[in-house]
Structure 1
Amino acid sequence: MKIAVTGKGGVGKTFISGILAYRYAATGFTTIAIDADSSPNLALVLGMTETELEKIVPVAENQLLIEEKTMTGYPGVYKLAFSVDDIVRHQAVLTPSMVSLLVMGTVQAVGSGCACAANSLVRNLVGHLITRSDEVVIMDMEAGIEHLGRGTAENVDMMLIVTDANKASLVTAGRIVKLARGGGIPRMAVVANRVRNKEQEEKIKDAASLLGVPVPVIIPYDEAILDAGTRGVAPVFMDTPATRAIECLRTWIEEVTTS
């Protein structure tokens, strides 16, 4: 199972990605979570400390790894094809939630000059995980629609488009649906997050209906989750209305992808 979680920045993608990954791991699945956001914080949701997060070297910032995999010995010339299996084994970090985390990082962090080698490494690695891995792979994608332009979300089994009732979030969700449909993504769902009332719920459902995409769950605005974030507490082990809704989302994904 390969799931990409997308949406406008600030709508709760990372929270949903983390809880969903934990819920899969808790039910016995080998789970890999990929933090593909340019501001990686998925580790914190999965139970790691800020100090532990700072020690993780993102794939795109690992200059030794990039050179080992892509360099040919000739300036400006790099390999387009290489094995990435060992990167998954050695770079993934096991989190307290029993989810293996892989932080992709941003190619801009590699340094000045051409980032072609870093781009190639990230693209090959993501392609391997999406098209060949037998585990549950959950990708917390970069905010917006850039990831669709780069093709990093190709061949996923399910794309979740997270949105709240904000107009800008709904507009971004619509753009993602149209691009994903044009790219051949087989299954999509709009995930309504931080919903405070029936009016907001209906607003999101109406927008999704116009796009022809289901809304399998309504994740309510949850003060307990907000408070946990303020206190720096990982929400994965919490039992709240929001986390229970995400478990319902996991069950729905299982049903539609195995039917």
Structure 2
Amino acid sequence: MKIAVCGKGGVGKTFIAGSLARCLVQAGHPVLAIDADSSPNLALTLGLTSGDAARIVPVAENEELIRLKTATEYPGVFRLTFTVDDIIRNHAVLTPSGVHLLVMGTIRAMGSGCTCPAHSVVKALMRHLVVERNEAVILDMEAGIEHLGRGTAGHVNSLLVVTDANRKSLEVAATICRLARESEIAHVGLVGNRVDESRHETAIRSFADEHGLDVIAIIPYDMQVTETGISGNALDESSSVAFQVIRELSSRLIRDGE
């Protein structure tokens, strides 16, 4: 089972990705969570402390790892083929939630050094994770799906596009869904998040109808999620209405993936 979660920044996709990963572990599935956002914070959602999260070196920023994988004896020339399974074994972090976490990191901008070796490692690793791994993989993505690429997108079981009722968030969601269709991802659906009024749900469903999109879940606004985000305390999953809806969503995704 391979599930990618994306959406406009600030709509709560990381909370949803992390909660899905937790639910899958609790259902007995081994889970590898991939933080592919340029501002990674999935570690906190999975129960790591700020200090532990800060000590994680993202794959794309691990200069020694990139050198070992791509360097040749010729300056300016690097290897295009290499193994990546050992990266998961050596660099994935076991979190208190029981989910293993791998942080991809940001490829440096042009002008700050050659981006090709790091890009090659990240691309090869993403393909390995989506195409060749057997465990459940949850990918917390940026707004686009460029990380997946055409060679791997078709192997993602589901793309969950998170949005709130804000028109800008909905427009970004529609663009992502269009890109996903061009990449032939099998199942693409909207997840409405932080919905605290009926008119917000109506706005999301109406927009989805206008654009021919499927709404697969509506997650209510949950003050406990907001408060734990501020305090840094652990979420009480048993009393969180948002988490319970995500648990139901995870159960449907498990059934669909069987």
Per the alignment, residue 115 of structure 1 pairs with 115
Deviation at 1:234, TM superposition (A): 3.4
Structure 1 residues without counterparts, runs of 5 or longer: none
Deviation at 1:109, TM superposition (A): 8.1
Per the alignment, residue 18 of structure 1 pairs with 18
The answer on whether the counterparts of 2:123 and 2:147 sit within 8 Å (CA) in structure 1 is no
CA distance in 1, matches of 2:85, 2:236: 28
Residues 121-140 of structure 1: CA distance to partner in whole angstroms, max 9, x if unpaired? 00000100000111000000
CA distance in 2, matches of 1:72, 1:236: 51
TM-score, length-scaled by structure 1: 0.94
The answer on whether the counterparts of 2:71 and 2:77 sit within 8 Å (CA) in structure 1 is yes
Secondary structure at 2:40 match in 1: coil
Per the alignment, residue 242 of structure 1 pairs with 242
The answer on whether the counterparts of 1:195 and 1:220 sit within 8 Å (CA) in structure 2 is yes
Residues 40-72 of structure 1: CA distance to partner in whole angstroms, max 9, x if unpaired? 100000000000001111101111110110111
With over 3 angstroms needed to count, the CA separation of the structure-2 counterparts of 1:219 and 1:157, relative to structure 1, is same
Per the alignment, residue 39 of structure 1 pairs with 39
Per the alignment, residue 98 of structure 2 pairs with 98
CA distance in 2, matches of 1:156, 1:14: 18
CA distance in 2, matches of 1:62, 1:152: 25
Q: Which amino acid aligns with 2:178?
A: K
CA distance in 2, matches of 1:238, 1:54: 29
Structure 2 residues without counterparts, runs of 5 or longer: none
CA distance in 2, matches of 1:168, 1:128: 33
CA distance in 2, matches of 1:72, 1:45: 39
With over 3 angstroms needed to count, the CA separation of the structure-2 counterparts of 1:3 and 1:149, relative to structure 1, is closer
Secondary structure at 2:83 match in 1: coil
Structure 1 stretch displaced more, 247-256 or 144-153: 144-153
Deviation at 1:166, TM superposition (A): 0.3
Per the alignment, residue 184 of structure 2 pairs with 184
Percent identity (aligned): 48
CA distance in 2, matches of 1:207, 1:189: 13
With over 3 angstroms needed to count, the CA separation of the structure-2 counterparts of 1:43 and 1:77, relative to structure 1, is same
Pairing 1:254–2:254 present: yes
With over 3 angstroms needed to count, the CA separation of the structure-2 counterparts of 1:111 and 1:28, relative to structure 1, is farther
Secondary structure at 2:190 match in 1: strand
The answer on whether the counterparts of 1:61 and 1:109 sit within 8 Å (CA) in structure 2 is no
Residues 122-165 of structure 1: CA distance to partner in whole angstroms, max 9, x if unpaired? 000010000011100000002x2263685586121100000000
TM-score, length-scaled by structure 2: 0.94
TM-align CA RMSD: 1.9
CA distance in 1, matches of 2:191, 2:257: 16
CA distance in 1, matches of 2:57, 2:236: 23
Aligned residues: 257
With over 3 angstroms needed to count, the CA separation of the structure-2 counterparts of 1:56 and 1:149, relative to structure 1, is closer
Per the alignment, residue 175 of structure 2 pairs with 175
